[in-house]
A and B are shown apart, each in its own frame.
Chain A
Amino acid sequence: MSYKCSRCKRDVELDEYGGVRCPYCGHRVLLKERAPTIKEVDVE
């Protein structure tokens, strides 16, 4: 899963055992990025 650190704005890959923490700056707030795929929505 790809996240973005809210402090240093770098892309972060989370692994299962590392805990929620940016490996570059140690910040614990990570933001989930929008998936780069095209999303189809039905207008109902």
Chain B
Amino acid sequence: MVADFEVEFIERDDRNARFLVRGASPAFANGIRRAMIADVPTFSIDTVRFVENSSVMFDEMIGLRLGLVPLTTPLDDFEVGETVTLALDVEGPGTAYSGDIETSDDLVEPADDNIPIIELKEQQRIELEADAVLDTGREHAKHQGGVAVGYRHLQRVEVVGDAGEFDEGEPNILRGVIETEDGELVATDEFDHDLAERYPGKELAVHDVPGAFVFHVETDGSFSVEELVTRAAESIGARAAELETKVAV
């Protein structure tokens, strides 16, 4: 079976997107989801060399915090396993933020400047050098590029008649994206996730649309949503191609 996918964006931001894919099987939708979480590599701090740390926290705890700072990752320029050196030198009083991290390569820098690392008091100082390495979420969760990746079935809502005269008008809560009878796609937050608000006084039938999945994808800022989805698809393609060559031998 060769399916033709139809893709339609419902929301589209740099870091956050919602899009509908028609013609996918549940297995393929889940494969893409897993590839987005585990197979697309991102840079993350892996080794830290502390020159000075007179703060109130142990070196190891600061190291763990640094590991979770998202770093921009241009995947065309680096291979998995490559490293980039970063440095941090902050003296108290004040807070050391991710924006204070200096980088040796402008392509790899903290995706957000306002992540607090540690608060320093008078005469406290932190000076360190760190190596960021490119690796996948399969190796460690700090390398996950997709941080909130999931999908739901597209749900079709049909009006089947009027509600009974003595019906209570209770809320009919539904989350995700609905398809109306005239084919319009509406995110449920537009009507406060309550179908009774959009269709007052109507009796409704809701059912899943087969083969239609609404993906909600959020990245940590390492790269855009488009990059994440295309790299995930490429990784599935690459594994399928590898299987094909191994079986043929």
Please list the residues of chain A having a beta carbon within 8 angstroms of any beta carbon in chain B: 34, 38-44
Alpha-carbon separation in the docked complex, A21 to B23 (Å): 79
Alpha-carbon separation in the docked complex, A32 to B62 (Å): 21
Which are the 9 A-B pairs with shortest beta-carbon distances?
Answer: A43-B67, A41-B63, A43-B63, A39-B50, A41-B48, A40-B49, A41-B59, A38-B49, A38-B51
Alpha-carbon separation in the docked complex, A42 to B133 (Å): 12
Chain A residues near B182 (CB, 8 Å)? none
Q: Decide if B64 touches A43 in the complex (CB within 8 Å).
A: yes
Q: Decide if B50 touches A42 in the complex (CB within 8 Å).
A: no
In chain A, what residue has the closest Cβ to B65?
A: A43
- From known contacts A43-B45, A44-B140, infer whether A38 and B50 are also in contact, taking CB-CB under 8 Å: yes
Alpha-carbon separation in the docked complex, A34 to B52 (Å): 9
Asked if B134 lies at the interface with its beta carbon under 8 angstroms from chain A, I say no
Chain A residues near B50 (CB, 8 Å)? 38-41
Q: Give chain B interface residues in 135-153, CB to chain A under 8 Å.
A: 140, 142
Q: Decide if A39 touches B46 in the complex (CB within 8 Å).
A: no
In chain A, what residue has the closest Cβ to B58?
A: A41
Alpha-carbon separation in the docked complex, A44 to B60 (Å): 9
- Set B46, B51, B53, B54: member contacting A43, Cβ < 8 A: B46
- Set A38, A40, A43: member contacting B66, Cβ < 8 A: A43
